[in-house]
Amino acid sequence: MRIKELLLFCTAFFLTQSITAGEWHATSAPVELVRNESANYMNPLWSVDGRYLAFTKANYRGILILDTQTQAVNEINDEIGAGFGMLWSQQKPELLTRVAEYRGYRRYSAVKVFQVEVNTEITIVPYQKSMPDVPRWTETGNVYYADNSGIKLVARSNGVTNLAKAKVPQNLFVVQRRALAVTKTPDASPVNVPDFAQMRVINLSWSPDFTKIVFEVIGGTMYTMDADAKNITNLGIGFRPKWSPDSRAIVFMLSEDDGHRFTKSDLYIINADGTGRSEITSTPDILEMNPSWGYDGGSLVYDVLGEGAIYSIEVQHSAE
């Protein structure tokens, strides 16, 4: 990262924002939840009910579940890429993700849902050659994903999955040809969101109440946008944004690197309207990464680079 840019941005940001918005801050020391240095546990994600913590290993290979009631760790999958872009359902402890397998040196991707309570794996899209974005839940608990021909909507009802083609009320945002695109009509080609037509978009995610999305563009800036593709807010520089359970705030990491390895990373929180940017950790020698929120909105989970450990830390807003 360019330190000068960060400095200028942050200076300007704090000058304009710190007066108008309360600050987030950590209220506890970090608590280590689980550790495996050789496997390199990382990228944690709480289930909505707070019972399960999903995380993955180096190279996002496989998914492991920590059951906080039993403290048991169960590896529910060991496939390639399973831990990248995984998402808990807002309705029940089901985990959606895209997995991959290599036939020769060609990659085939499938979409799977893991019913964690009953330890069941459901393949809802079989392995296919092209799937250039991760799948996402719809507001109603269905799943949509993109392939080279457009957006596909998989309706789920009573354990049965079907490809749906009827127009839906919800905008379906995807990253298509590396740009932010949207449609309401499954099986059709989405159209680029004009404001971002020339930008490459990654790490797009819906707010839990499905009223907004957050994403980052290549170059480092994060944005929120209403579900109707209006009300775009520039959140400034940051990476890997994740929504708070109440859809009001976003946690992200701000990392620096030397082109080969990360040299610094800390966690920040910002309100979805761009106010209240707050530094949660400030540890030059500890690289906190891949944060997400606890189910109650009062804690964060994250991993520390090089440790293979996942931590929890309590946070509070000064207005609370």
Q: Please report, in angstroms and rounded to a whole number, the separation of the first and last CA atoms in the chain.
A: 33
Among 97, 109, 142, 233, binds another protein (CB under 8 A): 109
- Interactions with another protein, residue window 122-151 (CB under 8 A): 129-134
- Interactions with another protein, residue window 172-231 (CB under 8 A): 175, 178, 200, 202-203, 216, 218-220
Shortest Å distance, C-beta 110 to another protein: 11
When the beta carbons of 253 and 269 are compared against another protein, the nearer one is: 253
C-alpha distance from residue 2 to each of 11, 123, 124, 291 (Å): 14, 42, 42, 22
Closest alpha carbon to 39 in 83, 72, 3, 6: 83
Q: Edge to edge, what strands does the sheet with 63-67 contain?
A: 42-46, 52-56, 63-67, 72-77
By the rule CB under 8 A, 73 interacts with another protein:
no
* Burial (CB count within 10 angstroms: exposed 0-12, middle 13-18, buried 19+), residue 305: middle
Which of these ranges, 68-76, 81-89, 165-173, 184-192, lies near another protein under the rule CB under 8 A?
A: 81-89
By the rule CB under 8 A, 261 interacts with another protein:
yes
When the beta carbons of 209 and 307 are compared against another protein, the nearer one is: 307
Q: From CA 46, how far away is CA 289, in angstroms rounded? A: 15
Among 29, 118, 160, 319, binds another protein (CB under 8 A): 29
Q: Which two tokens stand for residue 195?
A: 């404001």
For the chain, count helices (H), then strands (E). 1, 28
Q: Which two tokens stand for residue 154?
A: 């998989």
Which of these ranges, 152-160, 164-172, 188-196, 285-293, lies near another protein under the rule CB under 8 A?
A: 285-293
Residues lying near another protein in the complex (CB under 8 A): 1-7, 10, 29-30, 36-40, 58-61, 80-81, 84-85, 98, 100, 102, 105-107, 109, 129-134, 175, 178, 200, 202-203, 216, 218-220, 239-240, 253, 255-257, 259-262, 282-286, 289, 306-308
